[in-house]
Structure 1
Amino acid sequence: MTRLVPGMGNTGKLIAAQTLIRAIYRLLDGRKVRVLVDSWYMRRVFIESMLARGFDVIGQVRIDTWLCDEPPKRQKGQRGRPRKYGRKYTPKRIAHLKRTVVTLPLYGKEQEVRYRSKVLMARFLKGRLVRVVWCELKSEAGHWKKAHLLLSTCQVPIDHRFSF
């Protein structure tokens, strides 16, 4: 496997990751696969490559990622081009989502996690519907750390007992 990635040319991390996936793809034999990746790999070209193979992708994206609702249905007789995206999700709209607090075994100890979740359209994926989760961990001092945005192409409802 050491000679999978070309030694010459423009070979970055995304090409190396796609090459490794292509090399082990046959070993997976059509099984349902979820690829958990670092935030650096959460780019459209990588995600679309995994989706083309039938894999689901889970990873962290930038907190300011452009997310929106589905566009409203076109009314009969409505003029103009149909909308591609719905209303953008802003911090104010995110704050109105239902917040769930659970205790999970993370990093070798029990930790409190606070999250909000919704199925939305991701603009960087050309409007693909994805499950997004804004999550925060509670620090040992008792305050909530800054929020992280997780994105999953698998739209399964979030259940804290369900393990990816």
Structure 2
Amino acid sequence: MTMREEIEAAAARYPDRRSAIMPALMIAQKEHGHLPGPVLEEVAQILGVERVWVYELATFYTLFHTEPIGRFHLQLCDNVSCMLCGSEALLTHLETTLGIRKGETTPDGAFTLSTVECLGACEMAPVMQVGDDYHGNLDAARLDALLESFRAAERVTSVERAAAAPGE
């Protein structure tokens, strides 16, 4: 199914096509990896809604990305509960370990580091979301172990890609 067909199917579930903007953005981001201007315009065109409505949602919610992000998007909560439990020190640790600042992506495209306002998991503070998974009760050692597990997954994926590539 094409992106257009998926968006049309999603829009059919709503009485007003404007209500389908968020699902349409999720579909488009899954297809393109992020939501650059031309993709936002395409979503607006498919739905027949004002471009500004699409742009507003795409730039308001942290789950949407208008710029490319790393394969592992590290979203560290910096709200009160997490801050009181050490998220500021964890952010510094991640920046030092990865060699990037908040809002940046590692040169190899593996990690993007962001802070988010609240992940709604205060009982696990400090908490970080990576993809669809939450990782809580974090400290520097747990972060290092997580980063290593992500790097290991990257190595496995690279080997699988190489094995699947046609012979040279």
TM-score by length of 2: 0.30
TM-score by length of 1: 0.30
Answer 1 or 2: which has greater strand percent: 1
Answer 1 or 2: which has greater helix percent: 2
